[in-house]
Structure 1
Amino acid sequence: MYLLGYDVGSSSIKASLIEADGGKLISSATSPSKELEISAPEPGWAEQDPETWWTHVVKATKQIVSESGINTSNIEAIGISYQMHGLVLVDENNKSLRPSIIWCDGRAVDIGQQAFEELGEDYCLEHFLNSPGNFTASKLKWVKENEPDVYKKTSKFMLPGDYIAMKMSGDIATTTSGLSEGIFWDFKSNGLADQVLEHYGLSKDLVPEVHPNMAEHGELSAAAAEELGLSKGIKISYRAGDQPNNALSLNVLNPGEVASTAGTSGVIYGVTDKPLHDDQSRVNTFVHVNHTKDNPSYGVLLCVNGTGIQYSWLRNTLLNGTSYSYDDMNEMAAKVPIGAEGISVLPFGNGPERPLANKDLGGRINGIQFNRHNTGHVIRAAQEGIAFALNYGLQIMKEMGMEIETVRVGHTNMFLSPVFAEAFTNVTGKVVEMYNTDGSIGAAIGAGIGAGIYKERSNAFAGLKKVKTQAPESELVNAYSDAYEHWHNELEKAL
Structure 2
Amino acid sequence: MYFIGYDLGSSSLKTALVDSETGETLTVIKTPAEELGIDAPRAGWAEQDPELWWRCICEGTRELLSDTGVAPEAISGIGIAYQMHGLVTLDAEGRSVRPAIIWCDSRAISIGDQTLEELGETRCQAQLLNVPGNFTASKLRWMQQEEPEAFQKTRTFLLPGDYIAYRFTGKPQTTASGLSEGILWDFQKGQPAHWLLEHWGMPDALVPEIVPTFGHQAEVSQAGARATGLKEGTPILYRAGDQPNNAFTLNVLEPGIVAATGGTSGVLYGITDSPEVKELQRFNHFLHVNHAPERLRIGQLLCINGAGSLYRWLKDQLNVSGYNQMNALAEAIPVGSDGLICFPFGNGAERMLKNKSIGACFSGLEFNRHHKGHLCRAALEGIAFAFRYGMELMEGSGVPFKTIRAGNDNLFQSNIFTTTLAALGQTPIELFEVTGAVGAARACMVEQLGLEETIKRAAGKDYLATVLPDKEDEAYQKAYLKWKTELQNNLN
Taking structure 2 as the reference length, the TM-score comes to 0.98
Are residues 1:485 and 2:484 paired?
no
Aligned residue number for residue 358 of structure 1: 355
After superposing the two structures, state which structure 1 stretch, 349-358 or 251-260, moved more: 251-260
Corresponding residue to 1:457 among 454, 459, 463: 454
Q: Would the aligned equivalents of 1:437 and 1:464 in 2 still touch at CA under 8 Å?
A: no
Task: Give 2:413's aligned amino acid.
Answer: L
Displacement of 1:215 after TM fit?
1.8
Render the CA deviation track for 1:23-60: whole Å, top value 9, x for unaligned. 22112211111111100000000000000000011111
1:128-150 alpha-carbon deviations (Å, 9 max, x no partner)? 11110001000000000011111
User: Which whole-Å CA distance do the structure 1 matches of 2:127 and 2:283 have between them?
Assistant: 16
Is 1:331 matched up with 2:316? no
Displacement of 1:331 in angstroms is: 0.5
**Counterparts in 2 of 1:121 and 1:18: CA distance versus 1, 3 Å:** same
Q: What are the within-5 Å matches in structure 2 for residues 5-84 of structure 1?
A: 5-84=5-84
Aligned match for 2:429, one of 429, 432, 438: 432
Instruction: Say yes or no: does 1:349 pair with 2:336.
Output: no
CA-CA distance at 1:296 after TM superposition:
1.4
Question: Take 1:309 and 1:464, find their aligned partners in 2: how far apart are those partners?
Answer: 30
Instruction: Tell me whether 1:390 sits opposite 2:381 in the alignment.
Output: no
Read off the aligned partner of 2:470 and give its amino acid letter: E
Q: What secondary structure does 1:142 align onto?
A: helix
Matches within 5 A, 1:165-180: 165-180=165-180
Please give the root-mean-square deviation of Cα atoms over the aligned residues, in Å: 1.3
Matched with 1:207 is 207
Contact 2:4–2:78, Cα closer than 8 Å, also in 1: yes
Equivalent runs, 1:93-492 vs 2, <5 Å: 93-316=93-316, 318-320=317-319, 323-450=320-447, 452=449, 456-462=453-459, 464-475=461-472, 477-492=473-488
Q: Is the 8 A contact 1:30 1:60 kept in 2?
A: yes
Aligned partner of 2:318: which letter? L
Instruction: State whether residues 276 and 285 of structure 1, in contact with CA within 8 Å, keep that contact through their aligned partners in structure 2.
Output: no
Which letter maps to 1:329? M
State the number of aligned residues.
491
Q: In the alignment, is the contact (CA less than 8 A) between 1:17 and 1:441 conserved in 2?
A: yes
Q: Distance in 1 between matches of 2:452 and 2:220?
A: 24
Q: Percent identity?
A: 47
Deviations 1:188-224 (A, max 9, x none): 1111113321222221110011112112110111221
Q: Tell me: CA distance 1:414–1:455, structure 2 relative to 1, closer, same or farther (3 Å).
A: closer
Give 4+ residue runs of structure 1 displaced > 6 Å after superposition. Answer: none
How does the TM-score come out when normalised to structure 1?
0.97
Q: Is the Cα–Cα contact under 8 Å of residues 445 and 460 in structure 1 kept in the other structure? A: no
Letter in 2 for 1:373: H
Distance in 2 separating the partners of 1:227 and 1:32 = 17
Which amino acid letter does the alignment assign opposite residue 464 of structure 2? V
Instruction: Encode CA deviations 1:253-272: one digit per residue, 9 max, x unaligned.
Output: 12222111101110110011
Letter paired with 1:341: D
Give, in whole Å, the separation in 1 of the partners of 2:131 and 2:399: 19
Ranges in structure 2 where 5+ consecutive residues have no aligned partner: none
3-state SS in 2 of match to 1:456: helix
Q: Residue 442 of structure 2 contacts residue 454 of structure 2 at CA under 8 Å; is this kept in 1?
A: no
Q: Which amino acid aligns with 1:490?
A: E
Matching residue's letter, 1:487 = W
Amino acid at match of 1:418: N
The aligned amino acid for 2:477 is S
CA distance in 1, matches of 2:276, 2:389: 18
Tell me by how many angstroms 1:459 deviates.
Answer: 4.2
Deviations 1:83-110 (A, max 9, x none): 0000000011110110000000000000
The separation in 1 between residues aligned to 2:427 and 2:377, in whole angstroms, is: 20
CA separation of 1:280/1:291 partners in 2, compared to 1, >3 Å: closer, same or farther?
Answer: closer
Q: Residue 466 of structure 1: CA displacement?
A: 1.1
**CA distance in structure 1 between the aligned counterparts of 2:393 and 2:189, rounded to whole angstroms:** 27
Q: CA deviation at 1:278?
A: 4.0
Distance 1:62 1:302 in 2: 35
Q: Which amino acid aligns with 2:380?
A: Q
Alpha-carbon offset, residue 473 of structure 1: 1.2
Q: Which amino acid counterpart does residue 86 of structure 2 have in structure 1? A: G
